[in-house]
A and B are shown apart, each in its own frame.
Chain A
Amino acid sequence: MKKLSLVLALIMILSMALPTASAQDGGSLLDVVKGRGKLVCGVNGQIPGFSFLDPDTNEMLGFDADFCRVLAAAIFGEVTADNLEFVMLTANERFTALQTGQVDVLFRNTTWTTTRDGDLGIDFGPTTFYDGQGLMVKADLGVTSITELDGASICVLTGTTTALNITETMETLGLAYELVPFEESSQTSAAFEEGRCDALTSDQSQLAGLRSGLADPGSAVILSDVISKEPLGPAYIENDSVWGDVVKWSVFATLTAEELGIDSTNIDDFLASEDTAVQRFLGIGENPSGSLLGLDNDFAVNIIRAVGNYAEIYDRNLPPIGLPRGVNALWSDGGLMYPPAWR
Chain B
Amino acid sequence: MAESRSSAFDRTKHAPVPLWRDIRILQVAAQIIFLVLVAAFFVILIRNLVINLEESNLAIDFGMVNRPFGTMISEGTTSFKPGESTNLDALWVGLRNTLRVVVVGLIGATIMGILIGIGLLSSNFLVRSAAWSYVELFRNTPLLVQLYFIYRGLRLTMPIKLADSYKLPGPIYINRRAVNFPLIEGTDTASRLYIALALGLTIGITLWIWRLRVMERTGQPAHTLRWFLPPVIGLAVVGWFLAGDPFTVEDPVLQGLNFQGGDKLTIEYITLTLGLVLYTAAFIADIVRAGIQAVPFGQIEAARAQGFGGGQTLRLIVLPQALRLIIPPLGNQYLNLAKNSSLGIAVSFFDVYNVANETSNVTGQSVAVFAIMMVIYLSMSLIISLIMNALNYSMRLRER
The chain A residues found within 8 Å of chain B, CB to CB, are 4, 6-8, 10-12, 14-15, 17-18, 21-22, 24-25, 91-92, 95-96, 99, 115-116, 119-121, 141, 149-153, 158-159, 163-164, 167-168, 170-171, 176-183, 187, 190-191, 194-196, 198, 237-239
Contacts and interface: CB of A to CB of B under 8 A. Distances in A.
Given A17-B367, A92-B357, A167-B72, A12 B56 contact: no
A149 B260 CA distance: 14
B31 interface: no
B257 A121 contact: no
B52 A195 contact: no
B74 interface: yes
Contact of A158 (B46, B56, B361, B378): B361
Contact of A181 (B42, B53, B160, B348): B348
Contacts of A25: 55
B112 interface: no
A176 B260 contact: yes
Contact of B74 (A7, A11, A180, A195): A180
Contact of B258 (A92, A153, A194, A237): A153
B257 A152 contact: yes
Interface in B281-317: none
A159 B358 contact: yes
Contacts of A116: 364
A183 B345 contact: yes
Contacts of B255: 151
A162 to B, nearest CB: 10
Interface in B170-201: 176-177
A179 B72 contact: yes
A180 B257 CA distance: 15
Interface string B227-257: 0000000000000000000000000000111
Contact of A119 (B82, B155, B348, B364): B364
A8 B56 contact: no
B361 A92 contact: yes
A172 to B, nearest CB: 10
A22 B48 contact: no
Contacts of A168: 70, 82-83
28 contacts: A11-B49, A15-B49, A17-B370, A18-B52, A22-B56, A92-B361, A95-B361, A95-B364, A96-B366, A99-B58, A115-B362, A116-B364, A121-B364, A151-B258, A152-B258, A153-B257, A158-B358, A167-B70, A167-B72, A167-B83, A168-B83, A179-B73, A180-B74, A181-B354, A191-B155, A191-B348, A195-B161, A196-B155
B143 to A, nearest CB: 17
Contacts of A119: 363-364
A116 to B, nearest CB: 7
B52 A22 contact: yes
A142 B41 CA distance: 64
Nearest to B61: A119
Contacts of A17: 49, 366-367, 370
Contact of B371 (A6, A14, A91, A115): A14
10 closest A-B pairs by beta carbon, nearest first, are A159-B361, A151-B258, A120-B364, A195-B160, A18-B52, A164-B70, A178-B74, A151-B257, A121-B56, A15-B45
Interface in B336-393: 345-346, 348, 350, 354, 357-358, 360-364, 366-367, 370-371, 374, 378
B70 to A, nearest CB: 4
B317 to A, nearest CB: 36
Contacts of B364: 95, 99, 115-116, 119-121
B30 interface: no
A187 B151 CA distance: 12
Contact of B55 (A4, A22, A194): A22
Contact of B177 (A21, A121, A177, A196): A196
A167 B71 contact: yes
B42 A196 contact: no
Contacts of A115: 362-364
B346 A150 contact: no
Contacts of A196: 155, 176-177, 267
